[in-house]
A and B are shown apart, each in its own frame.
Chain A
Amino acid sequence: MKNKLIQHLALAASTLLIGGSAFAQVKIAYIDPLSGPFANVGDAGLKGFKEAAEILVNQKGGIMGQKLEFTGFDNKGSPQETQLQLKAAIDQGFRFVTLGNGSGAAHSLIDAVNKWNARNPDKTVLFFNYAAVDPTLTNEKCSFWHFRFDANTEMKMEAISNFMEKDKKIKKVFIIGQDYAHGHQVAKYTKEMLAKKRKDIKIVGEDLHPIGRVKDFAPYIAKIKASGADTVMTGNWGNDLSLLVKAAKDAGLKARFFTYYAGGLGTPTALGASGEGKVLQLTEWHSNVPTKTTEKFEADFNKKYPGIYFYYLRVNNMVQMVAQAMNTAKSTDPKAVALALEDLRFQNDTGEVWMRKSDHQAMQPLYISIFTKKDGKTVKHDSEGTGFGWKTLAAISQRDSQMPTSCIMERP
Chain B
Amino acid sequence: MEFVVISLLNGITYGLLLFMLSSGLTLIFSMMGILNFAHASFYMLGAYFAYQISTWVGFWPGLLVAPLMVGVVGALIERYGLRRAHRFGHVAELLFTFGLAFLVEEIVHLIWGNVAVDYRIPAELDGTLFTLFDTDFPIYKGFMMLISVGMLVALYALLTRTRIGLIIQAALTKPDMVEALGHNVPRIFMLVFGGGTALAGLAGVIGGNAFITEPGMAAAVGSIVFVVVVVGGLGSLGGAFVASLLIGCIQTFSVGLTISVTDVFALIGIVLPEGSQVARLTITQLAPVLPYMLMVAILIFRPRGLMGARES
Question: B256 to nearest A CB, angstroms?
Answer: 5
A39→B114 contact, CB < 8 A:
yes
Confirm or deny: A208 has a beta carbon within 8 angstroms of a beta carbon on chain B: yes
List of B residues within 8 angstroms of A225 by Cβ = 2-3, 6, 134-135
Instruction: Indicate if B255 sits at the interface (CB-CB under 8 A).
Output: yes
> B114 to A34, Cβ gap below 8 A?
yes
Asked whether B10 lies within 8 Å of A35 as measured between CB atoms, the reply is no
- In the complex where A250-B141, A252-B128 touch, is A36 in contact with B216 (Cβ < 8 A)? yes
The contact string, 1 if C-beta is below 8 Å from chain A, for chain B 63-85, is 00000000000000000000000
Residue in contact with B212 in the complex, picked from A43, A239, A253, CB distance below 8 Å: A239
Q: By the criterion CB–CB under 8 Å, are B256 and A179 in contact? A: no
Residues of A with C-beta under 8 A to B13: 218
Interface residues of B, count at CB 8 A: 40
Smallest CB-CB separation from A218: which chain B residue? B10
With contacts A223-B255, A250-B136 taken as known, whether A213 is within 8 angstroms of B220 at the C-beta atoms is yes
> Which one of B115, B134, B211, B215 has the greatest number of beta carbons of chain A within 10 Å?
B115
Instruction: Verify A216–B14 contact, CB threshold 8 A.
Output: yes
Interface of A is mostly: mixed
B216 and A37: CB pair below 8 A? yes
* A39 and B136 within 8 A (CB): no
In the complex, the answer to whether A215 meets B220 with C-beta atoms within 8 Å is yes
Q: Which of chain A's residues has its CB closest to B131's CB?
A: A252
B7 engages A43 (CB within 8 Å)? no
Cα(A222)–Cα(B9), bound, Å: 11
CB pair A222 B256 closer than 8 Å = yes
Closest approach, in angstroms, between the C-beta of A358 and any C-beta of chain B?
Answer: 33
Q: Flag whether A397 is at the interface (Cβ < 8 A).
A: no
Interface code A35-55, partner B: CB below 8 Å = 1, 0 otherwise? 111011001000000000000
Interface members, chain B 238-263 (any A CB < 8 Å): 251-253, 255-256, 258
Taken together as a complex, chains A and B put the C-alpha atoms of A209 and B282 apart, in Å, by 11
Cβ-closest chain A residue relative to B257: A223
Q: How far is the CB of B145 from chain A (nearest CB, A)?
A: 13
Inter-chain CA distance A179–B277, complex, in Å, is 14
A276, CB-defined interface residue at 8 Å: no
Given A215-B211, A216-B14: A251 touches B6 (CB 8 Å cut-off): yes
Report whether B115 and A40 are in contact in the complex, using a CB–CB cutoff of 8 Å: yes
**Which residues of A have CB within 8 Å of B255?**
207, 209, 219-220, 222-223
**Closest residue of chain B to A272, judged by CB?**
B126
> Contact at B256–A243, with CB atoms within 8 Å?
no
Q: How many angstroms from the CA of A219 to the CA of B290 in the assembled complex? A: 15
Contact bitstring A277-317, B, C-beta under 8 A = 1, else 0: 00000000000000000000000000000010000000000
* CB closest residue in chain B, given A39: B114
Is B165's CB within 8 Å of the partner chain A? no
Q: Which chain A residues border B150 with CB–CB below 8 Å?
A: none
Residues of B within 8 A of A (CB): 2-3, 6-7, 10-11, 13-14, 109, 114-116, 118, 128, 131, 134-138, 140-141, 210-212, 214-217, 220, 251-253, 255-256, 258, 284-285, 287-288
Could you list some 24 contacts between A and B, CB below 8 A? A35-B114, A35-B216, A36-B216, A39-B215, A40-B115, A43-B115, A207-B284, A210-B288, A213-B220, A219-B251, A220-B255, A222-B3, A223-B255, A225-B2, A225-B6, A225-B134, A226-B256, A239-B214, A243-B211, A251-B136, A251-B137, A251-B138, A252-B135, A266-B116
